[in-house]
C-alpha cells in the first residue's frame, strides 16, 4: 500500500530506524490507520531491517495496539477490580445501548469500537475509560451519554 509505505518512511525519519523506534512507529501507524495491517507490519520490518515476526510480536504484546481494523474512536473501558466495583457494568451497558454494539465490536460506520482494557491508573476516580488517547473518569451513564454525543458529532 503506497500510503502505508510513505507513512512508515515519514515515521522512520522522525523516530529513527533503530529497534527503539519500533514502538513509537507502531503507535503512530495506529494513530493514522487505526490498526496495524499486515502490509504495515511488512513495511515496518523492511524499513527497520528486522523480521516481520519481531514486529508482529511487539504489536500483539501491547493491548493498546490493534492488529485488526478498529473504528475511528476506540473506547477502552477499564475492567479491573476497582472500576468493576464502581459499576463498570452499568457503563458498559450504557455504551452498548448507545452504540448498538457489544464489547469487542465496531459500529457499521466504523466510527466506534468498544473494548475492555486493564487498569488505566485512574482507580481512585473510577470507573474510567479511554477514547483514543483521552481519559474519562468518574463515569456515570449520564456522563457517558454526553461524551458519546460529543464524539458522534465529531469528525
Q: Which residues are near ligand FES by CB under 6 A?
A: 78, 80-83, 119-123, 126, 128
State in angstroms the smallest separation of the CB of 149 from ligand FES: 23
State in angstroms the smallest separation of the CB of 133 from ligand FES: 15
Distances (CA, A) of 112 to 11, 34, 60, 80, 122: 26, 11, 21, 22, 22
Determine contact, residues 94/107, Cβ cutoff 8 Å.
Answer: no
Q: Which is nearer to ligand FES, 82 or 103 (CB)?
A: 82
- Cα 2 to Cα 111: distance, rounded to the nearest angstrom: 24
State in angstroms the smallest separation of the CB of 4 from ligand FES: 33
Q: Which is nearer to ligand FES, 48 or 131 (CB)?
A: 131
Q: Which is nearer to ligand FES, 17 or 80 (CB)?
A: 80
Q: Which is nearer to ligand FES, 113 or 117 (CB)?
A: 117
- Cα 90 to Cα 142: distance, rounded to the nearest angstrom: 11
Q: How many CB atoms lie within 10 A of CB 62?
A: 12
Amino acid at each position: 500500500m503506497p500510503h502505508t509505505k510513505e507513512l512508515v518512511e515519514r515515521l522512520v525519519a522522525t523516530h529513527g530506524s533503530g529497534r527503539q523506534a519500533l514502538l513509537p512507529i507502531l503507535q503512530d501507524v495506529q494513530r493514522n490507520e487505526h490498526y496495524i495491517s499486515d502490509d504495515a507490519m511488512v513495511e515496518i520490518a523492511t524499513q527497520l531491517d528486522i523480521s516481520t515476526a519481531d514486529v508482529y510480536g511487539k504489536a500483539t504484546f501491547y493491548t493498546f495496539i490493534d492488529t485488526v481494523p478498529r473504528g475511528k474512536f476506540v473506547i477502552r473501558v477499564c475492567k479491573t477490580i476497582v472500576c468493576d466495583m464502581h459499576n463498570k457494568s452499568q457503563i458498559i451497558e450504557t455504551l452498548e445501548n448507545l452504540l448498538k454494539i457489544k464489547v469487542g465490536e465496531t459500529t457499521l460506520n466504523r466510527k466506534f469500537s468498544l473494548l475492555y482494557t486493564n487498569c488505566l491508573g485512574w482507580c481512585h476516580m473510577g470507573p474510567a475509560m479511554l477514547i483514543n488517547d483521552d481519559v474519562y473518569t468518574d463515569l456515570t451513564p449520564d456522563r457517558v451519554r454526553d461524551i458519546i454525543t460529543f464524539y458522534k458529532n465529531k469528525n
